[in-house]
């Protein structure tokens, strides 16, 4: 670790904890329609139960102690046009000297702790599978990273941050893994740094723009057959459900994140409901405990830039919803691995993944949802071992670092 990186310890002031508990004590809840279930959003009974647990039973200091067992650091990253941002990251090194450097990037409402269950699996050394040095940053505005303070911070800026972090650690060539916004940043990062720095990457949310007549004529013509094509109807159904029933948060955060931010910054119950809905609806029957949910929410509540900062990422990536999410990107030849999890809400036809890049590895799992690293860490780590291991399509792609003991 270079002298430029400073060890970091999470230490929430007592006064911040006391204020949180006061706000929870004073919480006012809305009413609820009879038998509404999840149709209108997070159910009142769930939010009341979690609020009571947060106030009376959840032990932040215990959670904080466990978080601080992770090797955490901060460093300053200069972003072209935006000055210096102080970035928080986990850097778990393997004992295998020639382990593969792996950049793991979270999304929203995720945060850096999504990587925690992967760390002992990926960094384990063995003659039977590759090992990885894992770097997991908090994206700007998330967790304990500084947030940009002016508009225009978009996909290529997030990519610049994570790439410069890896270079500063001495990882000039490395692998990449991401889901949700980590996938979106991965598309921008491989467009800017693919093959030169990012030697191969893996995604568990293989999303990209829909094919057009000029970009992918055969896929476009197939899409036109959807009214008469049962297979296409089935493959498009999850994305259509998400588009009509699950995308409201995206539109709000892409257009008016500041308005939303007043509620998120002032009300821990509002923040809890806003994020808990996405957690619940995005997993594949994962049995969240109260402690898991509230640790997740607390990272957002106690974040360096505050709970209003991270949703602005959506505005930055879409210029206020005036351009599409992948504007300025195109297909890349950087080798790509893809994992399909059945509970992923933003699923598209599998044939479309080839529009993202040079697909060299695919896997389909029988369980798992949007937060694959959290829900099914062994399955996700297994994909990376197969993809980068001996006999895999990108074995030895990072020069001098095949990952084997």
Q: Tell me which residues are annotated as active site.
A: 180, 315, 370
Q: Identify whether the C-beta of residue 392 lies closer than 8 Å to the C-beta of residue 362.
A: no
Q: How many CA atoms lie within 13 A of 54 on its CB side?
A: 30
DSSP 81: T
* 344 vs 284: CA distance, rounded Å: 8
Q: Identify whether the C-beta of residue 178 lies closer than 8 Å to the C-beta of residue 200.
A: no
Q: Identify whether the C-beta of residue 131 lies closer than 8 Å to the C-beta of residue 122.
A: yes
CA 243 to chain CA centroid, Å, is 19
Locate 33 and state its tokens: 């329609």
* 196 vs 182: CA distance, rounded Å: 19
Q: Identify whether the C-beta of residue 79 lies closer than 8 Å to the C-beta of residue 157.
A: yes
Residue in 17, 21, 19, 45 with CA at minimum distance from that of residue 31: 45
- 3-class SS of residue 231: helix
Residue 16: count other Cβ atoms within 10 Å of its Cβ: 12
Residue 119: count other Cβ atoms within 10 Å of its Cβ: 20
Which residues have C-beta within 8 Å of that of residue 113, sequence separation ≥ 6? 67, 295, 296, 299
Concatenated DSSP letters for 324-372? Answer: -TTTT---EEEEEEEEE-TB-SS---GGGGGGTEEEEEEEE-SS-BS-H
Q: In angstroms, what CA-CA distances link 151 with 81, 85, 263, 383?
A: 11, 14, 21, 37
């Amino acid at each position: 670790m270079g002298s430029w990186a400073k060890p970091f310890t999470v230490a929430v002031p007592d006064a911040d904890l006391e204020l949180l508990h006061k706000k929870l004590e004073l919480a006012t809840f809305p009413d609820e329609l009879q038998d509404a279930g999840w149709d209108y959003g997070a159910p009142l009974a769930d939010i009341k139960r979690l609020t009571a647990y947060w106030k009376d039973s959840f032990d932040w200091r215990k959670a904080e102690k466990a978080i601080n067992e992770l090797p955490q650091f901060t460093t300053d990253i200069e972003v072209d046009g935006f000055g210096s941002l102080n970035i928080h990251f986990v850097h778990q090194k393997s004992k295998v000297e020639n382990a593969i450097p792996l950049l793991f990037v979270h999304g929203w409402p995720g945060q850096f702790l999504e990587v925690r269950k992967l760390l002992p699996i990926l960094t384990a050394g063995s003659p039977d599978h590759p090992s990885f040095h894992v770097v997991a940053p908090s994206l700007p505005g998330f967790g304990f990273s500084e947030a940009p303070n002016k508009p225009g911070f978009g996909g290529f800026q997030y990519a610049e941050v994570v790439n410069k972090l890896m270079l500063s650690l001495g990882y000039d060539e490395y692998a990449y893994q991401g889901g949700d916004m980590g996938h979106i940043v991965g598309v921008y990062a491989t467009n800017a740094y693919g093959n030169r720095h990012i030697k191969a990457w893996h995604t568990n949310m293989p999303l990209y723009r829909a094919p057009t007549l000029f970009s992918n004529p055969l896929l476009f013509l197939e899409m036109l057959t959807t009214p008469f094509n049962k297979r296409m109807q089935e493959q498009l159904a999850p994305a259509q459900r998400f588009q009509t029933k699950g995308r409201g948060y995206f539109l709000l955060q892409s257009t008016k994140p500041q308005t939303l931010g007043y509620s998120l910054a002032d009300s821990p119950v509002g923040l809890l409901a806003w994020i808990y809905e996405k957690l619940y609806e995005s997993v594949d029957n994962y049995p969240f405990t109260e402690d898991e949910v509230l640790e997740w929410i607390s990272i957002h509540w106690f974040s360096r830039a505050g709970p209003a900062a991270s949703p602005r990422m959506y505005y930055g990536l879409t210029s206020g919803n005036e351009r599409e999410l992948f504007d300025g990107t195109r297909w890349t030849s950087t080798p790509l691995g893809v994992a399909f999890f059945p509970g992923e809400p933003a699923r598209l036809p599998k044939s479309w993944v080839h529009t993202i890049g040079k697909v060299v590895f695919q896997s389909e799992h029988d369980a798992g949802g949007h937060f694959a690293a959290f829900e099914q860490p062994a399955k996700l780590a297994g994909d990376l071992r197969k993809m980068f291991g001996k006999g895999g399509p990108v074995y030895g792609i990072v020069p001098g670092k095949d990952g084997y003991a």
